[in-house]
Amino acid sequence: MTLKSNRKTAKGGLWKRWLGRFVGGVACAYVCALGLFSLASGHAGGLDAILRQSLAIAVLPLVIVGLFALPGRRSGPSVFVALAVPFLHLTLS
Amino acid sequence: MRDILRNRMGWLHAWVGFVGGLVLVVAFTGGTLALFDTEITRWMEPELAALPEAAMTGEALDHAGAQVWALREKGQNVFLNLPSARDPVLRILHYDGHAFVGPVLDPRDGTALNSRETRGGQLFFDLHQSLYRGPVWGNLVTEAAGIGLIVAVISGVIIHFRNLVPNLLLFRPFAAPGRAWLDAHLVAGVLLLPFIIMMAYTGAVIHAPRLFPMIGAGHAARPAGRPDAGMRVVGPYAPLAPMLAQAEDIFGRGRIGFVMFGTGTVSFYRADAADFAMTRDHADFSAGDGRLVGVERIGRGMPRLGGAMRGLHFIRWGTPALRWLYFVCSVVGSMMMAAGLGLFLMKHRRVHGGTFRLALAETLALAVTLGLPLASLGYLWGSRLLPPELVHRADRETGVFFLVWLVALLHAGMRCLGGAVRPAWREQACAIAVLGCGLPILDVVSRAETAFRLRADVYLAVDACALGFGLLALWGQRVIVRAR
């Protein structure tokens, strides 16, 4: 009984961690796609709008799955924010 | 459960697949039917069955042009759709917020045909691209669901990567229900992988400006009824027939799709079916004297990328055989997603059986999987049973669609909350069987007064499809009974 209850608690904890990881991953992927967008259009003779959109849409799901697949039990959603901030800074500068 | 890659991908595939799948089944089913939106519209206008096949005359085009100018002088933002192989009549169309609707004209003389008001197959197009929720929020939700589909496909491939070939060879349709559904989901998913990725990706790129509103190249969708600044113009106007001849010299004979009317100009646009890339090339003429004032062609290379994406997704350039291939792939894709929803529910029924949350999930899954086809058949029945002269008929028809869908949702909710999940699926399958198998009879009866003739046309195709889905539902409900 106790073992079953502990397993259930552990499963619930894992579910919440994965949900947090997924939400953080989606937010980070969106920022990455925006950054890619800005980088591609920032230079003189920047890429065509439709090509930028195509690249951003291609990158978005790959980054979401990639970040979700990253190993690390203790890495919460905060790690994605930490990853995204320098990228955003790079694109804005 | 351990925190390993396979389990993590399993969680991602299951939850993104289920939550996104509820939207995706609607979008995919809507898109499947929208492949033949013009043909469905024609089926819903049985009065046109009596019209003899005839090429458009110059007199008809000039007469139609005069009617368009008269409507524009009254402040209506209308345009003229020219006859094509798929739709052999002239149409004066305007966007009503969900579909392009308007009077139908005879291609021989341009006089108005006594056809009933309908949104036709464009309801499914609107359902596919924006869930009938408009070009802002609706587009955004389907766009997010499209990205979710790609995420679900990638995570699904990672889960099954090692067993892709064995899973293909081990299709056991008569095994235990869970195993059979999983096999069907895997086989359809693997075989249709390129098609599903292509449709999800091109669809997402087409509506990308919705996802990135701060950047992007603008969006084609415009709110309904927006007045066109400076639209009111005053005649006299040059006849359209000589302009069409000049436009056909530029783009090719029979390659003009529609005519837009601006302030002092008339633009002849190349048909979507004319080329692989949907580029909206057009020739502009002066409305007063019919003089050619400019030609706009999208150049080769990068500017055609957007048109190529649209061309791949909408397949308007395709032959009927290619469109049927898309249709079959889309039907199987919709079934694959529906099977995925079923697998999710089977898995969670073991642990969460009897809870409100699971009953809610069962209700929603049933409402999108069987409720939507039921509502679509109800829409076709409504188009023939509602009186042709009814006021706001197109809205009433759409109302029938959503009413049937709501009844299906309520039925699913009551039965699933009462613990009768299997009977709920069987009852809705029976309802589909009745409406589907009965549609050809309704078509024969309701067209008896006009010009019913048994021949290979859009009426026979729609009837045959409805009968096919009806028989499939009949078989499905027998399988549910036997699996008890």
CA distance to A33, B338, B367, B409, B416, per residue, from B424 (Å) = 43, 16, 10, 11, 7
d(CA B3, CA B255): 58
Residue of B19, B150, B153, B278 to mutate, testing the A interface (most A Cβ within 10 Å of its Cβ): B150
Contacts of B441 (CB under 8 A, 6+ apart): none
Q: What is the pLDDT of residues A28-49, one digit of tens each?
A: 899 888 887 777 766 555 567 7
Confidence of residue A92 (pLDDT cuts 50, 70, 90): low
What is the structure's pLDDT at A52? Answer: 83
By the CB < 8 Å criterion, does B11 face chain A? yes
The model's pTM is 0.90
Supply the Cα-derived Rg of chain A in whole angstroms: 18
Contact assignment for B1 to A50 by CB distance below 8 Å: no
Q: Which residue of B has its CA nearest to A9?
A: B1
**How is chain B split into domains, by residue range?**
355-484
d(CA B110, CA B112): 7
Choose among A22, A56, A61: nearest Cβ to B208. A56
Consecutive 10-residue averages of pLDDT for chain B (484 residues): 82 96 96 96 92 90 94 92 94 93 94 93 95 89 95 93 77 78 90 94 92 62 45 73 95 94 92 91 93 89 85 94 96 95 91 88 96 97 95 95 98 94 94 97 85 80 96 91 68
By the CB < 8 Å criterion, does B12 face chain A? yes
Contact assignment for B215 to A37 by CB distance below 8 Å: yes
What is the structure's pLDDT at B301? Answer: 76
Contacts of B437 (CB under 8 A, 6+ apart): B466, B467, B470, B471, B474
Contact assignment for A68 to B12 by CB distance below 8 Å: yes
Contact assignment for A53 to B201 by CB distance below 8 Å: no
Comparison of pLDDT for B107 and A12, the residue scoring more: B107
Choose among A38, A57, A65: nearest Cβ to B201. A57
What is the structure's pLDDT at B217? Answer: 52
What is the structure's pLDDT at B33? Answer: 97
Tell me, letter by letter, the H, E, C secondary structure of B355-405: CHHHHHHHHHHHHHHHHHHHHHHHHHHHHHHCCCCCCCHHHHHHHHHHHHH
d(CA A57, CA B201): 7
Q: Which of residues 64-93 of A touch B (CB under 8 A)?
A: 64-65, 68-69, 71, 73
Q: Which of B100, B117, B326, B330 is nearest to B220 (CA)?
A: B100
What is the structure's pLDDT at B372? Answer: 97
By the CB < 8 Å criterion, does B5 face chain A? yes
Choose among B11, B214, B306: nearest Cβ to A50. B306
Q: Which of B314, B323, B274 is nearest to B297 (CA)?
A: B274
3-state class of B92 per DSSP? strand
Q: Taking CB atoms and an 8 Å cutoff, what residues of chain A touch B279?
A: none
